[in-house]
């Protein structure tokens, strides 16, 4: 219900923004974005993973003015979704985001461990 209420308050679309390029977050992870007609494609290389090594996943998403959303399909049993907005921070383009990652919990453990399947956080990306 809150989602629908927020849509009622949303204004008109902002002017198009070019999100294409390489963006790095505060951990050194890299999102390489290509935008065509409002659709985002690319790759995301996370500087951190469960194995302690970088990991790369396929990225897909959308832009609407200065808003962006994208999902990364990891080669492990996990998905991460980011939503955010580009802002100007002292002359630099920055994408401020919130993210959710969901990981697979083995079926036998779902009744007691399902609460461990979703993580959340924030990222700031700079070109």
Question: Domain extents for the chain?
Answer: 14-126
Per-residue model confidence (pLDDT) at position 51: 72
> 43, 56 in Cβ contact below 8 A?
yes
Per-residue model confidence (pLDDT) at position 5: 65
Least confident stretch, 7-11, 33-37, 115-119? 7-11
Long-range contacts of 82-91 (CB under 8 A, 24+ apart): 82/123, 84/123, 84/125, 86/17, 86/19
Q: Tens of pLDDT along 68-100? A: 999 999 999 999 999 999 999 999 999 999 999
Q: Which pairing describes strands 39-46 and 92-103: parallel, antiparallel, or unpaired?
A: unpaired
The CATH architecture annotation of domain 14-126 reads Beta Barrel (2.40)
Query: What average pLDDT does this structure show over 12-19?
Result: 78
Per-residue model confidence (pLDDT) at position 98: 98
Per-residue model confidence (pLDDT) at position 72: 98
Q: Round to whole Å and give the CA distance between 126 and 31.
A: 10
| pTM listed for this prediction | 0.89
């Amino acid at each position: 219900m809150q989602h629908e209420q927020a849509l009622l308050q949303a204004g008109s679309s902002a002017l198009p923004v070019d999100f294409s390029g390489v963006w790095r977050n505060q951990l050194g992870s890299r999102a390489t974005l290509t935008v065509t007609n409002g659709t985002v494609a690319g790759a995301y290389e996370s500087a951190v993973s469960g194995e302690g090594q970088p990991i790369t996943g396929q990225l897909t998403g959308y832009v609407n003015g200065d808003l962006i959303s994208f999902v990364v399909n990891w080669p492990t049993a996990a998905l991460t979704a980011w939503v955010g907005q580009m802002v100007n921070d002292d002359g630099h383009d920055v994408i401020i985001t919130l993210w959710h990652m969901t990981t697979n919990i083995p079926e036998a453990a779902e009744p007691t461990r399902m609460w461990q399947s979703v993580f959340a956080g924030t990222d700031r990306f700079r070109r």
